[in-house]
Amino acid sequence: MAEKPRVVFITGAGMSAESGLQTFRGAGGLWENHRIEEVASPEAWEMNRELVLRFYNERRRALANAVPNDGHRVITELQDEFDVRVITQNVDDLHERAGNVNVLHLHGELTKARSSADETLVVDIGYRDLCLGECASDGAPLRPHIVWFGESVPMMRLAADLVSTAHALVVVGTSLQVYPAASLLWEAPSHAIRFLIDPNPPEAPGFYVLSKGASEGLKEVAHLLRQQFFFR
């Protein structure tokens, strides 16, 4: 059985927009009149822990009421014919809930928390609130399992290696304003075909751009991928 062609998806907040979850820069990058970069930061965690917990508790509650959209499902359906890998900047679990396997969360996961002293001590908290004063098994305060602005992105090497082995790269719903995630686009091998799906697409030289939403764009890209690799 010939190896399945590897299709790597890089998704951002726009992937979850049709599930009703706010994008970051859509709301002008603000939450309760705070810049998100200020709330999602180690400094905020030190200075105003309650504000940070409230920010993520609100997003976890919204996630509990959200469901995957057709875009997530198109990716799941492609898993039969392609070796599908998803690299997401999103911290929601909609890819997983749609049946996407091999999902790599560059910026962490909303449904998990971890010791603020030991980043390997991670616990599942589902969609519940994380309350002030909760501690991990090592006695340190529990914090959201999220990569904050200014913190390192431990999965970057793994993600870059994945993109470098792609036969096709599909970028969906990201403004490409946050690094190092955005630099992943340039790790694709020259022979890989490249698609970018976004109703308001950022600059992406060498990409076939579909200026439309995730669900509609992914249906079209799925058709093009089947044509390209299976001539049908």
Residue 36 phi, psi dihedral angles, 5° rounding: -60, -35
Among 84, 166, 192, 214, binds ligand APR (CB under 6 A): 214
Tokens 């859509």: give the residue. Answer: 26
Using rule CB under 6 A, residue 89 touches ligand APR: yes
Q: Which of 10, 66, 136, 178 binds ligand APR (CB under 6 A)?
A: 178
Using CB under 6 A as the binding rule, whether residue 199 contacts ligand APR is answered as yes
Question: In this structure, what is the dihedral angle of CA atoms 23, 103, 101, 205, given to the nearest 10 degrees?
Answer: 70
Binding flag, residue 34, ligand APR (CB under 6 A): no
Closer residue to ligand APR, CB minimum distance, 111 or 175: 175
| Residue 200 sits in the site that holds ligand APR (CB under 6 A) | yes
By CB under 6 A, is residue 45 in contact with ligand APR?
no
Q: Which of residues 138-157 bind ligand APR (CB under 6 A)?
A: none
| The token pair that represents 108 in the structure block | 């962490």
Is 107 known to be catalytic?
Answer: yes
The verdict on 51 binding ligand APR (CB under 6 A) reads no
Distances 35 to 39, 123, 180, 198 between C-alpha atoms, Å: 7, 28, 20, 23
2-21 positions binding ligand APR, by CB under 6 A:
12-14, 17-18
- With binding defined as CB under 6 A, does residue 68 bind ligand APR? no
Residues noted as catalytic? 107
